[in-house]
Structure 1
Amino acid sequence: MRTATYVGDHTIEIVDAVPAAPAPGTVQIAVAYTGLCGTDLHILHGHMDARVSRPLVFGHEMSGTIAALGERVAGWAVGDGVTVMPLAWDGTCPACRAGNEHICQHLDFIGIDSPGSLQELWNVPAETLVRLPDGVRLDHAALVEPVAVAVHDVRRSELQPGDTAVVIGGGPIGVLIATVARHFGAEVVVIELDAQRRAQIEALGFATLDPRASDQVAWVEQWTHGAGADVVFEVSGAAAAVRGATALAKVRGTIVVVAIHPTPREIDLQRVFWRELRLLGARVYQRADFETAVELVAEGVIPADTLITRVVPLAQTQTAFADLEAGRAMKILVDVAGAGR
């Protein structure tokens, strides 16, 4: 089989490998599609070299079908359509004992800390499988993992129907958060610098703001009749966005930090104090978030065809990352099943 492997120095190599049979308690998945994301870009840029082992087959946004079952696996059959919730926890650390297994203090994020889905055949623990309903397109199902991120972010905010939400950053996760927040009953505006992305977002029915062309604080205050937004999602990863987020939230409003910030950022703690703001982190997801994400994809709530800019063969993985970084795509899928063609 063929794999896309990060070898360090901003380089991905396409490597031939011999697939291993699934061990007891694991399943082997014939991977159909793998989505590329911002975390993968961090890996490629070397920002996570202190964490990841190299060479690393990475990737964690995926869909596929079961190819083989290891011993002691029940409830699954060869040919079942699946995606994977790529988290493995130890069950013994203080976070796990408190019921927060998804942010285990020794978390194995599969595809980062252990081999991921940019390979034709992928062995994973059976408990990480999430079943796909019959009829769901596998290219659409590759979006389930980032949709689960968005569901978790919105649930973490405790957003209520009728609330106002500002999403800072109109990339794939920002659009998904906006979509989920609207589905949950919120009014949403997305702040995005890139004109092409703003046009795509507006085509989905959202209001957008260009922070360089308008006073976003004044706009939000007018939109909310002087109150400020109930929830602000910081998805851009930009230092300026973190500094400005506190000015957009209402008294006792909530700011949810979604983006991965590679370095510490300044934040207006005086504003946090003055308005009694809540500042929350939202890292990954829980099982219920994944199950909701599957439902949203299956029901067509997620604009999958709009979000998927294109599908590329495994051999073009490195080029696809260059396009993502340059802003030439919203979401790129790798056709892993076609890797040998």
Structure 2
Amino acid sequence: MLATQYEGNKTFTVFEKEIEAPAAGEVRIKVAYVGVCGTDVHIYHGMMDKRVNIPETIGHEMSGVIDALGDGVTGYEVGDKVVVRPLDDRLAQPSDKGFNHVCEKLKFIGIDSPGAMQEYWNVPAFTLHKLKAETDLKLAALIEPLSVATHDVRMSGLKAGETAVVLGGGPIGLLVAMVAKETGADVIVSEVNETRIAKAKELGLDAVNPIKVDLIDYVRNKTENRLADVVFEVAGVQPALDTMTEVAGIRGRIVMVAIHGEKKPVDLFKFFWKELKLIGARVYEKEDYEKSIALITANEIPFEKMITDVQPLSNIQQVFGNIDSNPDGMKVLMDCQQ
């Protein structure tokens, strides 16, 4: 089988190795497609070298077909189409209060342990979600990042008829916007990259460039001065933090989607003055995966427009290099069977 490894120093290797039988409680998946995530790009840049066990096979946004079952695995058959929810919560403690997706000792498969950028991948069966036979495996590779979005929207409590502003029109931002729109909300995307603004409009979303248009006035005009009921901060930059408390209306909810590795200034007075709520949202839970699978299966939202390129697994070094030089791209998939 063909496999890849991150070697450090912006380097991947492609090599052949023996196909391994799944251990007890595991399944072997013939991997179809793997999406390149922003976290994977951080790994490529060396930003997670202290966490990743180099050399390591990475990748966690995937789809595939069960190829073999380990001892004790029930409920699945060879040939089933599946995706993996890449959270290993086997070290969860009572102090985690049952929220195992954010448990203190959570391990993220594909970062803390070997991932999907290989032809065959052995994973614990408890991570699997079964797909319908007719599911498009290219679209199914979007289920993991889509589940981030469904979790974010669920945590926000967004309802039909409310107004949501999404700060940041990258892959996760646009997925959040599409899920928010699916709930029946009015959605506005704020993004400075014109190519991404065009992509948002192609997806049927209202999108504006806050450098060219006063976002606060734009939202005021759209909402009869009520401003946003929900704000999703997805950009991860200081201007978005400055904007989120301005664009939120009275008793607005702000969902922190972006990861801020350092302390940042936030206008806490606005939380007092408008009775705002700040909501943290991290990865996803089982119900978010099931919601995403239902959205992909229904095929009513143009998720296929999020896929900007598909490359064979053997091109992994070129793919990561191209992502660095092409920030306009959305979702690149690796074809693990080419």
Q: Could you say which TM-score interval applies, normalised by the shorter chain? A: over 0.9
C-alpha contact (below 8 Å) 1:85/1:130 kept by paired residues: yes
1:4 Cα deviation (Å)? 2.1
1:274 Cα deviation (Å)? 1.6
Aligned to 1:104: 103
Q: Does 1:296 align with 2:288?
A: no
CA deviation string 1:239-280 (max 9, x = no partner)? 211122111101111111112223332211121222121111
Q: Aligned equivalents of 2:264 and 2:317: distance in 1?
A: 30
Aligned to 1:154: 153
What is the TM-score normalised by the length of structure 2? 0.96
Q: Aligned equivalents of 2:254 and 2:306: distance in 1?
A: 25
Aligned to 2:245: 246
Structure 1: 5+ residue runs without aligned partners?
none
Q: Does 1:273 align with 2:276?
A: no
CA deviation string 1:282-335 (max 9, x = no partner)? 110000100110010011133222110110011222222233333241110000
Aligned to 1:29: 29
What is the TM-score normalised by the length of structure 1? 0.96
1:42 Cα deviation (Å)? 1.3
Q: Aligned equivalents of 2:238 and 2:20: distance in 1?
A: 44
> What amino acid is aligned across from residue 72 of structure 1 in structure 2?
G
CA deviation string 1:181-231 (max 9, x = no partner)? 111110001011111111121122111110110111111122121121000
> What amino acid is aligned across from residue 118 of structure 1 in structure 2?
M
CA deviation string 1:75-98 (max 9, x = no partner)? 1111110000101113542454x1
The 1:305–1:92 alpha-carbon spacing in structure 2 relative to 1, beyond 3 Å, is closer
Where 2:7 maps in the other structure, the secondary structure is: strand
C-alpha contact (below 8 Å) 2:308/2:332 kept by paired residues: yes
Q: Aligned equivalents of 2:143 and 2:215: distance in 1?
A: 31
Aligned to 1:65: 65
C-alpha contact (below 8 Å) 1:31/1:63 kept by paired residues: yes
Structure 2: 5+ residue runs without aligned partners?
none
Q: Does 1:127 align with 2:126?
A: yes
1:39 Cα deviation (Å)? 1.1
Q: Aligned equivalents of 1:231 and 1:106: distance in 2?
A: 31
Aligned to 2:19: 19
Aligned to 2:208: 209
C-alpha contact (below 8 Å) 1:176/1:302 kept by paired residues: no
> What amino acid is aligned across from residue 22 of structure 2 in structure 1?
P
1:19 Cα deviation (Å)? 2.8
> What amino acid is aligned across from residue 192 of structure 1 in structure 2?
E
> What amino acid is aligned across from residue 134 of structure 2 in structure 1?
G
Where 1:232 maps in the other structure, the secondary structure is: strand
The 5-angstrom pairing of residues 107-256 of structure 1 reads 107-256=106-255
Aligned to 1:42: 42
Where 2:65 maps in the other structure, the secondary structure is: strand
Q: Which runs of 4+ in 1 moved over 4 A?
A: none
C-alpha contact (below 8 Å) 1:324/1:330 kept by paired residues: no
The 1:95–1:192 alpha-carbon spacing in structure 2 relative to 1, beyond 3 Å, is farther
Where 2:300 maps in the other structure, the secondary structure is: coil
C-alpha contact (below 8 Å) 1:87/1:128 kept by paired residues: yes
Q: Aligned equivalents of 1:245 and 1:54: distance in 2?
A: 38
> What amino acid is aligned across from residue 185 of structure 1 in structure 2?
G
Aligned to 1:308: 307
Q: 301-310 vs 73-82, which deviates more?
A: 301-310
Where 2:333 maps in the other structure, the secondary structure is: strand
Aligned to 2:260: 261
Where 1:21 maps in the other structure, the secondary structure is: coil
Aligned to 1:4: 4
Where 2:34 maps in the other structure, the secondary structure is: strand
Q: 20-29 vs 310-319, which deviates more?
A: 310-319
Where 1:56 maps in the other structure, the secondary structure is: coil
1:17 Cα deviation (Å)? 2.4
Where 1:57 maps in the other structure, the secondary structure is: coil
C-alpha contact (below 8 Å) 1:9/1:46 kept by paired residues: yes
